[in-house]
Amino acid sequence: MQVELSTRGRTYNYMKKILYFTALLSLFSNATSKGQNFSIADILSMPYCSDLKASPDGLKIAWVANTRGIRSLYTARAPNFTPQLRYQATADDGQQITNIRFDHSGSHLYFVKGSATNREGEIANPASQVVYPVAQLFQVNLASNAKDTMGSYTNYLVAPDDQDLLIMSGKKILSLDFSTRQLTTLLEMRGSVSHVTFNRDGTAITFVSNRNDHSFIGYYQIGDARIKWLAPSIYHDQHPVWSRDGDQIAFIRTPGDGKGTLPNITGGNPFSIMIYDLEKEQVSEVWRSPGDDGGFAQYYNEEPLRWAGDRHLLFYSEHEGWMKIYALDLSDGSVKNLLPGDCEIEHSFLAHEEQVLVFSTNCGDIDRRDLYEFDLKSGLSRQITDGDAIETDPLYLEPNIYAYRKGEVDIPQSIAIRNEGQEQQIFPVSESKAFPVKDHIVPQQVVFHAEDGMEIHGQLFVKDSNSNCPGILFMHGGPIRQMLLGYHYSSYYANAYAFNQYLANSGYVVLSVNYRAGIGYGKSFRRAEGQGPRGASEYQDIVAAGRYLQTQAFVDSTRIGLWGGSYGGLLTAQGLARNPDLFKAGVDFHGVHDWSWRATDFSQGGFWGITEDLMEQAYNASPVAEMNRWKSPVLLIHGDDDRNVMFGQTIDLAQRLEARGVHYEILVLPDEVHGFYRHESWVRSYQAAADFFDRYLQK
């Protein structure tokens, strides 16, 4: 097939370099590979549940279900927890349902339909609708099920009396009165506002005023003429939380940005926990990290600091080498690790008069998640769930009654209720008839070592150990992620797990690699030296994984490919460029291919702290620095409204491959974002990837 494309005024002839996946692809998107019992559409047909929330009284829960791209909002009420549909989209339009909140009485539910904006201020429109979508805030009356459109707002807070909303927009906090629908400016300031919280009686708010190189905690008594700044300083003051009596405000303090400071997700910073006494107008430091143990622990977790009861503060930290939650006793200054050991704590929920914390962790099962409970009165933790499932996002509803999300080896994330030790899956109520439950392969936990001795975990998918199958590596993105031994709690990686199942059922041996820089294995693993633009040390883990596959008797050592998205796309390109002897084909989803370019055109430093003196090293750590060795074919897949990785990274790599005569194929998804919002985008992309591997790795 010869196609003429005009690029910068010049015309190029491409021979079998561009794949156009349009109507033709949709005709075979439900087709199965040779020997395959199910299609990609089949294994992506089950509902995926997310955004689980509880009402303040613990009697109701709400969640989002995405079924083949149709997003729905459900609630359920104690004691039976029968799901009730509250909203449902009419098409696979890619419009997210987010920011779910109950009001304080539990009589109304709020949600936003529509995505965040890109740099041009546009929300995502991955279905390319001719009437461009607008983000909308909705209110649902839970008694009548009547829905009301509140307006084009995305960041909001319900007042304690349920009579109005606070709307946060840039430099302003506005008040929306329910009775009049009048929107008035409550306050306006320099910088941008975030982390707005009410005191218990709704008479005052705190918030963060972000000033780029520093930030302040603001206090505003409703009706006052001025903002009060709490201990303004040269620091970043963040995450304010009220004491139960409303007399004190705790917050986290980290250093301000001095000359040359750039955001670096692989770095860390010291942090302090501060308390401001409103009556005394005094601030005090109640705990300080012993090292640069902050940064990740604060931005990764939704609530990094919480006031628990009258005398405890709960906070996330890595100061003992693992991301944990600690209880700071304000009466004596002692700090208690809620769950000691070489493991991490992730999602958590504080309830029951701020005396009980429930959380998900990989303690005792490093490549899964279980639920635990910590009682502040007794100071004891106890395990709630055990077994082979992936349980996350726990909610404490009443004593011994919990709601949570649950993923299994053969079922994506569902909603479960646990009552007095008995578990009930309340949603979905039935399986998709097309979903191949019985065809799922139980992934094996494997452990191997990189050349420098680093221990690496992976999940191995093998259908037939008596065959001589081609092998495929999968690398997650992030890189601060961890793939698990079952369906993931992130929809992006649940889809990746499903595709790995499909590939394994199609006659491939698949190894999913948890390379260094990821979460789950401690701070030193996540912050391993020389990673990314500082030397790509994590790439040796990918080589080790490839060599591991070559040692398996059921793998054809001459037919190994690799695939991944984002950071996994980077590592895919890295493998094809650096080791054409090992990796024979790859599928690169929206990967970064030039670290130095990211550090100049995406953002200053690229969020990896790439300073000017690191530019050469960053370039040399990139796939584009090894183009002279690249021989193997690659499929490049990218949405052109990607807000995480520049679309130009794929354009640039394709042009470099073209110049060297290396075979590449392209699937472009117009208006799609980084983590595809449309179900059709995932089906098309995975079908293209499977077809590509079948052509270049199967005999």
pLDDT > 90? residue 112: yes
pLDDT band at residue 10 using 50, 70 and 90 as cut-offs: very low
CA angle 503, 507, 511 (to 5 degrees): 55
Closest CA to 693 of 556, 554, 587: 587
Residue 36 banded pLDDT, cuts 50, 70, 90: confident
Predicted confidence (pLDDT) at residue 24 exceeds the cutoff of 80: no
Answer whether residue 14 shows pLDDT above 50.
Answer: no
**∠134-137-142 over CA atoms, to 5°?**
140
CA 484 vs CA 457, 524, 529, 616: distances in Å: 10, 20, 24, 35
pLDDT band at 25 (very low <50, low <70, confident <90, very high): very low
pLDDT tens across 398-449, in order? 999 999 999 999 999 999 999 999 999 999 998 789 999 999 999 999 999 9
Whether the per-residue pLDDT at 28 is higher than 90: the answer is: no
Residue with tokens 């301000």: 256
Task: Report the amino acid identity of residue 662.
Answer: V
Please, which residues have CB within 8 angstroms of residue 580's CB and are 6 or more apart in sequence? 629, 630, 631, 632
Please write the tens of the pLDDT for every residue from 367-404. Answer: 999 999 999 989 999 999 999 999 999 999 999 999 99
Q: Which residues make Cβ contacts (< 8 Å) with residue 13, sequence separation at least 6?
A: 2, 3, 4
Length of the chain equals 699
Mean pLDDT of the chain: 93
Burial 133-154 (b: 16+ CB within 10 A, else e): bebbbbbbebeeeeeeebeebb
Mean pLDDT along residues 215-242:
97
Per-residue pLDDT band for 552 (boundaries 50, 70, 90) equals: very high
Q: How far apart are CA 214 and CA 237, in angstroms?
A: 8
d(CA 548, CA 692): 23
What pLDDT was estimated at residue 34? 56
Q: Which residues pair with 147 in a beta bridge?
A: 140
State the Cα torsion 15-20-23-24 to the nearest 10°: 40
Parallel/antiparallel/unpaired status of strands 509-514 and 469-475: parallel
Q: What is the dihedral of CA 179, 182, 188, 193, to 10 degrees?
A: 60
Question: What is the pLDDT at residue 35?
Answer: 63
In percent, the amount of the chain with pLDDT more than 70 equals 95
Q: Cα separation of 662 and 657, whole Å?
A: 5
Is residue 115 over pLDDT 50? yes
- Whether the pLDDT of residue 77 is over 50: the answer is yes
Q: How far apart are CA 159 and CA 173, in angstroms?
A: 13
Domains within the chain, CATH numbers bracketed: 2-44+433-443+491-509+550-697 (3.40.50.1820)
Half-sphere exposure of 510 (CA within 13 A, CB side): 27
Selection from 175, 119, 117, 187 nearest residue 150 by Cα = 175
Task: Give yes or no for residue 526 having a pLDDT over 50.
Answer: yes
Please check the confidence at residue 6 and state whether its pLDDT lies above 70: no
Q: For every residue of 200-222, which 3-state class applies, written as one string?
A: CCCCEEEEEEECCCCEEEEEEEC
Q: Is 160 helix (H, G, I), strand (E, B) or coil?
A: coil
Percent of the chain with pLDDT over 90: 89
Encoding tokens for residue 605? 């430093």
Residue appearing with tokens 């910073």: 269
Q: What is the average pLDDT across 527-551?
A: 97
* Whole-prediction pTM: 0.94
Question: Which 3-state string (H, E, C) describes 433-457?
Answer: CCCCHHHCCCCEEEEEECCCCCEEE
Closest by CA to 193, choosing from 182, 206, 176, 177, is 206
Enclosing H/E stretch for 533: none
Say whether pLDDT at 2 is over 80: no
pLDDT band of residue 32 (cuts 50, 70, 90) is low
pLDDT at residue number 432 = 84
pLDDT digits (tens, 9 = 90+) for 652-698: 999 999 999 999 999 999 999 999 999 999 999 999 999 999 999 99
Instruction: Give the distance from CA 412 to its chain's centroid.
Output: 16
Burial status of residue 471 (CB atoms within 10 A of its CB: 0-12, 13-18, 19 or more): buried
Helix or strand or coil: residue 424? strand
CA end-to-end distance (rounded Å), the chain:
23
- Encoded tokens for 109: 């539910």
- State the pLDDT confidence band at 224, using cuts at 50, 70 and 90: very high
Q: Could you give the CA distance from residue 698 to residue 467 in angstroms, rounded to a whole number? A: 13
* Averaged pLDDT for residues 278-307: 96
Structure tokens at 394: 């726990």
**Is the separation of the CB atoms in 56 and 102 below 8 Å?**
yes
Q: Quick check: 137 and 156 in contact, CB under 8 A? A: yes
List the beta bridge partners of residue 555. 469
Mean pLDDT within 90-114: 97
Q: Return the pLDDT at 179.
A: 83
Average pLDDT over residues 173-181: 90
> Among 694, 674, 552, 689, which Cα is nearest to 94's?
674
Distance CA 61, CA 58 (A): 8
